[in-house]
Chain A
Amino acid sequence: MAEETQSPAAAPAVRVPHISSQQVGLWFIHRADPGCAAYHLVFSARITEDGGLAAKAAGVLADLVREHEALRICFRPGPEGGPEQWVQDSVPLDVETHEARGLGADELNARIRADSRVPFDLGRPPLWRVRLYRTGAREWVLTVVMHHIAFDFWSLALLLTEARRRLEVTPGTAGTAGTPGAAEIDGSAFRAYAERQDAFLESPEARALLAAETARLADAPPSLDLHGDLPRPPEPSHEGGSAAFSLSAAASEAVRRLARETASTPYMALLAAYVVFLGRLSGRRDVLVGTPTSGRLQRRFRNALGNFVNTVVVRGEADEEATYRQLVAAAKERALDAMRGQEIPFPRLVKELALPRDPSRTPLYQAGFAWDRLPLSPELGQFFLLEPDLGTEVRIAGAVLRPHPLPQQEGQADLWVEMGGERDGGYVGVLRFTTDVFTAETGRELAAAFAATVETLAARPDEPVRTLPRGDAGQLARLNAWGTGPRRELPEDTLPGLLRAQARRTPQATALVADGEEWSYGRLLGAVRAVAGALRAAGVRRGDRVGVPADRGAPLVAALLGVLEAGAAYVPLDPQLPADRLGYMAEDSGARLLLTQESLRSAVPGGLPVLCLEEVLGGARGGAGGTGEGAGTAGAGEGAPWDGEPAPVTPADLAYVLYTSGSTGRPKGVAIPHGALVNLLLAMRDDTGFSADDAMLAVTTVSFDIAGLELYLPLVAGGRVLLCDSATAADGAALAARIADSGATWMQATPTSWRMLREAGWAGHPGLNVLCGGEELPRELAEFLAPRVASLRNVYGPTETTIWSTSGRVAAGRGVDIGAPIANTLLYVLDEYGRRVEPAFPGELYIGGDGLALGYWDRPELTAERFVTGLPAAPEQRLYRTGDRARWTGDGRLLHLGRLDNQVKLRGYRIELAEVEAVLQAAEGVSAAVVVVREDRLVAYVVAEPGAEPKPAELRALAARSLPPYMVPGLVVPLAELPLTANKKVDRKRLPAPKDAGLDRSAPFEKPRDATEITLARMWTELLDLPEVGVHDDFFEVGGHSLLAVRLAAAIRAEWDVDIPVATLLRHGTIAELATVVRQGGQEAARGPMVTLRRADGGRPLFLFHPFGGTVFCYVELARHLPPGRPVMAVQAPGLDAEGEAEVSVEEMAARYLGHLREVQPEGPYALGGWCFGGVIAFEAARRLREAGEEVDLLVAIDSRAPIPENIPESADDATLLSWFARDLAVPYGKELDIPADELRALGGDAAFDHILARAAAAGVLPEDADRAQVLRYFEAYLANGIALQTYLPEPADVDLLLLRAVDEPADYGPALGWDGLVKGALRIVDVPGDHNSVMYPPHAAVAAGAIAPHLPGPPGEARQAGGGAGSAPEGAGSAPEGREEPRQAPEAPEGTQRDDERR
């Protein structure tokens, strides 16, 4: 068959005057992503025929195209940026036939699928196409692809029906064959639809509907916020997958019956189940579901070709307390509520709601539910199912059509469920999911979970939903398999028993290396026995608790094991902890005795008997020689002073009580039995393969339970413990060296410690196996570690389930999960009713098995709360409730989603802080990031990598690229280091308040409160490109600068016809203040030239004079960075706000400005300064003050060229100044605008000025609609200043001058810029980075401020000098370090953190 190709030659076309809102919406989606195939409607069939059908069909199609303009429409961009609808007079058919007989089935399907996804060019009709693939002599596969912007499924069904009808007309009646369809389908009504919609939207009825819809949805949650398998990209790719599902005939009949009984429809009943499903998936009760309506409400659109579909949003309530019957009744009401608004186009509704912009998700709803029933025969309906009845056959004009299912419309939203079809008496459907965040396995689990939800609810419609099980049998089996650790028989033994056995096997082998000394197994066992003997002698009995405050070292290990050997339980008391806390632990645990060292005797809690290790071990060694090296040779310490039988300790006996921070502010003890410890050690031995050849570098403090693994795992495997002292463990470089020198093959540490190593330049160690746990392992750290070590395991577990409960290898590039349960361990992810959640659903992680603690020491209520039995998922099991959120992915990986209490809700959004942290941590130059909520605002604390200085603004911008706006931290606070707990985990409670870090906002975040503030806030967000601003945010603190201020003033003028001088923005820099000015019609008292840049009580101001142009915005950055305590005021040119006031001589300016200045400060000493020309004015002002007998204690000129004849440009005419003016306009934007003076000179006058405006607008530094008069006033002031400078040639003056010289400025005016001839006093020159312009903008302005600071003493009585080193912003230098240095000793520290007890 010949290939027909379309010709792109444009045919004559006419514009359709109207276009529907839905079409406009789809056009914008397509414009943003021209490769998007999510809106392709596809019909596909396998055809068997005897020949001739294709040619005949082509004829029918050609007729249809000729007859119906709907088949010839296309969309072109209109003059206002939106689309216009055009109908082309003639359009070639887009029909291609392809030879596919050589292709296998999979290849063919891939080919067809790829072809069906080839994007349309919406400007080039036809927006539909037909493809035929020849698969056999009489076999074809047909696809019809249409773009949804021009068609809907109804249209597709109409076309199929019509084509079929025409094909079946016999040739004998050909005389009427061209027209009989004309009355049947209507190819022009789409015009009337769009026109009607436009008219309708102007009507009072539409306004009332819109108001009702807005009221219905205004307070809806902003997004469904589904947990995914992959991080959500900032913008959707419109790629997706499909998973088919089916309901049993019984469930389907139950749904139909329930619908009848509740006077609703099956659609509503299934929608109710979908809402339950989504509620569980999102953790929300209030759930929005998009649902399409046909839009063909009027008779005349019934047979029309076009796109009439509109989506309405049902606001469902996922109420687990209700019965399904009640939920169906509720869903009916909610669906009707939504349907009432169906004539409001969805895009219009979105616009009306003015939702915060979140380009990563579809607006308003992220999950859809479609009930498709087409005006087709039921057989043809099968062709649209993903899993049709494959026996379906339809005969058309002698050919046989069979279904050829093809996935389509994937990637429109996060989730779509489409139903309406049936097979074998049961409903069938397809669940479409975005592959941006879900894997195919997860998609299948979601489909299975939805089907199971319907089956369960429909079977028991009169029981509360929360009492019904979740998931299906297959899912339950998978969850069981994933959550059950290997079964391992445990010996009836304890750790001392295992040690004895090992010492018997290898008495001479090295067990322990500490402080350069090696201890054999024999010696260690001897020491253990000596300790045990001494304890028994001191009256310690089985079950007693013994407090062990001891420094790290071999004696500590012997002490811990000795306590166990004696049948008692130890309580680690880290001497580094505050004494109060240690005292509390000793008392709470009811310790009978303290086992300590001589050196610590005075520091241990009082009131208890004390046994000194030196006495015990020294005595033993000195005595019968039993515990020294000799003991080993004597055979497992048989000769040790042991006065009795080994204590009859059983696995159920208490081994240790470990204290973790409690939420009440007092630590709580976790009571771990021997059996749990043995289980952990043997399980981890199996998991890691740790052998007698291995050596573990032990770095963790014993007060952190994971130390137990480091100290004991080697001993039960016959390997070596290399005990690292705490000083080395806390020093990255030293630790790196120790790793290299010690021969360690294993090391366990928290992510914080690994990060510390990385920062110290550690390059990894190919022989080192790594266990990383205790905190969330960030992906970027995993990516760093994995390729640099022998193996990387992520381990997870709370103290309450004994050190670790899961372990898993981490490979680069695969993401981080927490691994699989270790031996004899059970994992459950449960919902709030204790039911297992389906794979892919989030829930709380519960842990059962042999690792469980006995409970909390002496805290029965707390124990009962956290260690629970009788949950529906596992009634017989005792489970520990971790407080961690987790989720199984579809392929059985367990993802940790953070602490339940670490998930915050901010302004209606659910935010996982770890997700924000991950993004910041991945940023270049960032070593660590912690995000917390403070004052209703996200605050990020970041620690830079060595040598890097990531800028807060850049980090925010980076976060904004990959996170939705509500997850972008409002404030980024750089810290030198993060506060850590004793266990080397981040201590969130000790993060300094932003104000202590010097970066506080002047006031808490507050949303706009009235129309004026809302409008102002919108202007700001648009100008500053921010997601949101608070009404107390200062314009210049959130990124504004002078030219944006001009644009803001222009916007305010356009909005309210209120004239606000830009200088007012400096004085009223917040939305709240500005709104007041606007409300008062712009009247503002006392518009003097003095502008307060920073207030401060008591001190004399630093006065800064304006540069060329007269504005003082340039000082905003500088003022922010000058040391606190002194006010900073700026003098701007009076000509800026009114015409004709520009001064034309420096002398007159100085005289006039001094008048204002003396009103503020009547007498000296004065501090004056300025940048550029401002320095010259300051010089003249200082000269005059000195002449008047006043003292000037600071005169600073920032890259000001001295007013001497040599510095006067040769041709500083208007054109030259205009050229400079243009250049300076661009500076704050970091752009260059070089317009040669010659060019301007040639244009002359107004034309030159307009040229500047146009060029500046083109460069994006002025708005298109810039207020010409305002900019002209700027230029006039600039011009006046230029003339003043050229005519100012002062005599040398008796002043001192501090000159800041911008070292990167290419123009050379000599080392002192000419000042050496003018300054009779001291001339101090400081070089600062930047060129003449950039010196006043970030980052250089902070350095300039730092250079001025030492010369700007604080007010009397304020001793602190905040100057500090140049190059770093001095803010925060005052208080933050104090906060950092003291925390450990602080007696109130024990309230510590809730995060300390459970490790993730």
Chain B
Amino acid sequence: MSDQAQTIDDVRDVLIKAIASEAGYAPAELPTDRPFTEFGLDSMAALSVGMEIEETCGLSDLPVTLLWDHPTVDALTEALWALMQGELTATAAEGQ
């Protein structure tokens, strides 16, 4: 579920957990600066991770090539965080 009090570290933790689970790594051992493809992730895994993101970060309709455009945990974290801020801003704007 969406939690608007999330920090960027929360997002990173969510990603690490999701990707490590798909890739068969222990979360602590997952290199966050390496491309997902190095862990053998394929489009099916990407789909799962995407769904996880949708659920935990409160984002929907993510770009279909999100994981390809931001292919490491570090890069994806930044991108998601930016998206979430945009989402918040948009929600606030609608609220007015």
Residues of B within 8 A of A195 (CB): none
Residue A1184 interfacial (CB < 8 Å): no
For the complex formed, measure the closest distance between the CB of B93 and the CB atoms of chain A, giving whole angstroms: 18
Q: Looking at the complex, which one of A260, A266, A296, A336 makes contact with B65 (CB distance below 8 Å)?
A: A336
Please name the residue on chain A nearest to B51 by beta carbon.
A299
- Tell me the residues in window 38-96 of chain B with beta carbons closer than 8 Å to chain A beta carbons: 38, 40-44, 47, 50-51, 54-55, 60-62, 64-65, 68, 71
Residue B31 interfacial (CB < 8 Å): no
Contact of B37 with A373 in the complex, beta carbons under 8 Å: no
- Tell me the residues in window 17-53 of chain B with beta carbons closer than 8 Å to chain A beta carbons: 35, 37-38, 40-44, 47, 50-51
Residue A294 interfacial (CB < 8 Å): yes
Residues of B within 8 A of A339 (CB): 43, 64-65, 68
Q: Looking at the complex, which one of A262, A266, A294, A336 makes contact with B47 (CB distance below 8 Å)?
A: A294
Q: Looking at the complex, which one of B42, B51, B64 makes contact with A342 (CB distance below 8 Å)?
A: B64
| In the complex, per-residue mask of A324-343: 1 if CB is within 8 Å of any chain B CB, else 0 | 00000000000010011011
Q: Looking at the complex, which one of B35, B40, B42, B47 makes contact with A297 (CB distance below 8 Å)?
A: B47
Residue A302 interfacial (CB < 8 Å): yes
Residue A1270 interfacial (CB < 8 Å): no
What CA separation (Å) do A265 and B39 show in the bound complex?
Answer: 10
What CA separation (Å) do A259 and B37 show in the bound complex?
Answer: 7
Contact of A265 with B37 in the complex, beta carbons under 8 Å: yes
Interface centre among A259, A299, A339, A373 (most CB of B within 10 A): A299
Residues of B within 8 A of A302 (CB): 51
For the complex formed, measure the closest distance between the CB of A1085 and the CB atoms of chain B, giving whole angstroms: 57
Residues of B within 8 A of A264 (CB): 37
Contact of B37 with A371 in the complex, beta carbons under 8 Å: no
Contact of B47 with A296 in the complex, beta carbons under 8 Å: yes
14 intermolecular pairs with C-beta atoms under 8 Å apart: A256-B40, A260-B37, A260-B40, A265-B42, A266-B42, A293-B43, A294-B44, A297-B50, A298-B51, A298-B54, A302-B51, A339-B65, A340-B64, A340-B65
Residues of B within 8 A of A215 (CB): none
Beyond the given pairs A263-B35, A298-B61, A299-B55, 19 more chain A to chain B contacts, judged by CB atoms under 8 angstroms and listed by A's residue number, are A256-B40, A262-B37, A263-B37, A265-B42, A265-B43, A267-B42, A294-B44, A297-B61, A297-B62, A297-B64, A298-B54, A298-B60, A299-B51, A339-B43, A339-B65, A340-B64, A342-B64, A343-B64, A373-B44
Please name the residue on chain A nearest to B41 by beta carbon.
A265
What CA separation (Å) do A343 and B61 show in the bound complex?
Answer: 11
Whether A371 touches B43, Cβ cut-off 8 Å, given contacts A299-B51, A299-B55, is: yes
Residues of B within 8 A of A373 (CB): 42, 44
Residues of B within 8 A of A260 (CB): 37-38, 40
| In the complex, per-residue mask of A684-713: 1 if CB is within 8 Å of any chain B CB, else 0 | 000000000000000000000000000000
What CA separation (Å) do A263 and B54 show in the bound complex?
Answer: 24
For the complex formed, measure the closest distance between the CB of A424 and the CB atoms of chain B, giving whole angstroms: 18
Residues of B within 8 A of A259 (CB): 37
Contact of A371 with B42 in the complex, beta carbons under 8 Å: yes
Contact of A299 with B54 in the complex, beta carbons under 8 Å: yes
Please name the residue on chain A nearest to B38 by beta carbon.
A260
What CA separation (Å) do A906 and B51 show in the bound complex?
Answer: 47
Residues of A within 8 A of B51 (CB): 298-299, 302
For the complex formed, measure the closest distance between the CB of B46 and the CB atoms of chain A, giving whole angstroms: 9
- Tell me the residues in window 1170-1219 of chain A with beta carbons closer than 8 Å to chain B beta carbons: none
For the complex formed, measure the closest distance between the CB of B15 and the CB atoms of chain A, giving whole angstroms: 16
| In the complex, per-residue mask of A286-316: 1 if CB is within 8 Å of any chain B CB, else 0 | 0000000110111100100000000000000
What CA separation (Å) do A373 and B44 show in the bound complex?
Answer: 7
Residues of B within 8 A of A293 (CB): 43
For the complex formed, measure the closest distance between the CB of A113 and the CB atoms of chain B, giving whole angstroms: 29
Interface centre among A256, A265, A294, A340 (most CB of B within 10 A): A265
For the complex formed, measure the closest distance between the CB of B32 and the CB atoms of chain A, giving whole angstroms: 15
Whether A336 touches B42, Cβ cut-off 8 Å, given contacts A264-B37, A298-B54, is: no
For the complex formed, measure the closest distance between the CB of A299 and the CB atoms of chain B, giving whole angstroms: 5
Residues of A within 8 A of B35 (CB): 263
Residues of B within 8 A of A297 (CB): 47, 50, 61-62, 64
What CA separation (Å) do A296 and B37 show in the bound complex?
Answer: 21
Residues of A within 8 A of B71 (CB): 263
Residues of B within 8 A of A263 (CB): 35, 37-38, 71
- Tell me the residues in window 233-273 of chain A with beta carbons closer than 8 Å to chain B beta carbons: 256, 259-260, 262-267
What CA separation (Å) do A1119 and B61 show in the bound complex?
Answer: 65
Please name the residue on chain A nearest to B56 by beta carbon.
A299
For the complex formed, measure the closest distance between the CB of A1185 and the CB atoms of chain B, giving whole angstroms: 80
Residues of A within 8 A of B38 (CB): 260, 263
Residues of A within 8 A of B61 (CB): 297-298
For the complex formed, measure the closest distance between the CB of A252 and the CB atoms of chain B, giving whole angstroms: 12
- Tell me the residues in window 557-606 of chain A with beta carbons closer than 8 Å to chain B beta carbons: none
What CA separation (Å) do A458 and B17 show in the bound complex?
Answer: 33
What CA separation (Å) do A340 and B62 show in the bound complex?
Answer: 11
Contact of A336 with B68 in the complex, beta carbons under 8 Å: yes
What CA separation (Å) do A928 and B49 show in the bound complex?
Answer: 65
What CA separation (Å) do A294 and B42 show in the bound complex?
Answer: 13
What CA separation (Å) do A293 and B35 show in the bound complex?
Answer: 22
Please name the residue on chain A nearest to B53 by beta carbon.
A299
Residues of B within 8 A of A371 (CB): 42-43
What CA separation (Å) do A589 and B80 show in the bound complex?
Answer: 81
Please name the residue on chain B nearest to A200 by beta carbon.
B61
Residues of A within 8 A of B50 (CB): 297
Residues of B within 8 A of A266 (CB): 42
CB-CB nearest 6 A-B residue pairs: A373-B44, A263-B35, A299-B51, A299-B54, A265-B42, A263-B37
Please name the residue on chain B nearest to A333 by beta carbon.
B68
What CA separation (Å) do A260 and B65 show in the bound complex?
Answer: 18
What CA separation (Å) do A302 and B48 show in the bound complex?
Answer: 9
Residues of B within 8 A of A336 (CB): 65, 68
What CA separation (Å) do A293 and B71 show in the bound complex?
Answer: 20
Interface centre among B35, B47, B60 (most CB of A within 10 A): B47
What CA separation (Å) do A293 and B50 show in the bound complex?
Answer: 14
For the complex formed, measure the closest distance between the CB of B1 and the CB atoms of chain A, giving whole angstroms: 11
What CA separation (Å) do A259 and B42 show in the bound complex?
Answer: 10
Residues of B within 8 A of A267 (CB): 42-43
| In the complex, per-residue mask of A41-70: 1 if CB is within 8 Å of any chain B CB, else 0 | 000000000000000000000000000000
What CA separation (Å) do A342 and B65 show in the bound complex?
Answer: 10
Interface centre among A259, A263, A373 (most CB of B within 10 A): A263
What CA separation (Å) do A264 and B71 show in the bound complex?
Answer: 10
Residues of A within 8 A of B44 (CB): 294, 373
What CA separation (Å) do A293 and B54 show in the bound complex?
Answer: 19
What CA separation (Å) do A266 and B54 show in the bound complex?
Answer: 26
Residues of B within 8 A of A256 (CB): 40
What CA separation (Å) do A924 and B44 show in the bound complex?
Answer: 56
Please name the residue on chain A nearest to B68 by beta carbon.
A336
Please name the residue on chain A nearest to B46 by beta carbon.
A265
| In the complex, per-residue mask of A370-406: 1 if CB is within 8 Å of any chain B CB, else 0 | 0101000000000000000000000000000000000
For the complex formed, measure the closest distance between the CB of B39 and the CB atoms of chain A, giving whole angstroms: 9
For the complex formed, measure the closest distance between the CB of B41 and the CB atoms of chain A, giving whole angstroms: 8
What CA separation (Å) do A373 and B47 show in the bound complex?
Answer: 11
For the complex formed, measure the closest distance between the CB of B64 and the CB atoms of chain A, giving whole angstroms: 6
What CA separation (Å) do A897 and B26 show in the bound complex?
Answer: 59
What CA separation (Å) do A260 and B23 show in the bound complex?
Answer: 13
Residues of B within 8 A of A343 (CB): 64
For the complex formed, measure the closest distance between the CB of A344 and the CB atoms of chain B, giving whole angstroms: 11
Please name the residue on chain A nearest to B44 by beta carbon.
A373
- Tell me the residues in window 1302-1358 of chain A with beta carbons closer than 8 Å to chain B beta carbons: none
- Tell me the residues in window 1074-1091 of chain A with beta carbons closer than 8 Å to chain B beta carbons: none
What CA separation (Å) do A262 and B35 show in the bound complex?
Answer: 10
What CA separation (Å) do A324 and B82 show in the bound complex?
Answer: 37
Residues of B within 8 A of A296 (CB): 47
What CA separation (Å) do A267 and B41 show in the bound complex?
Answer: 11
What CA separation (Å) do A371 and B37 show in the bound complex?
Answer: 16
Residues of A within 8 A of B37 (CB): 259-260, 262-265
What CA separation (Å) do A1186 and B60 show in the bound complex?
Answer: 90
What CA separation (Å) do A373 and B71 show in the bound complex?
Answer: 21
What CA separation (Å) do A529 and B41 show in the bound complex?
Answer: 85
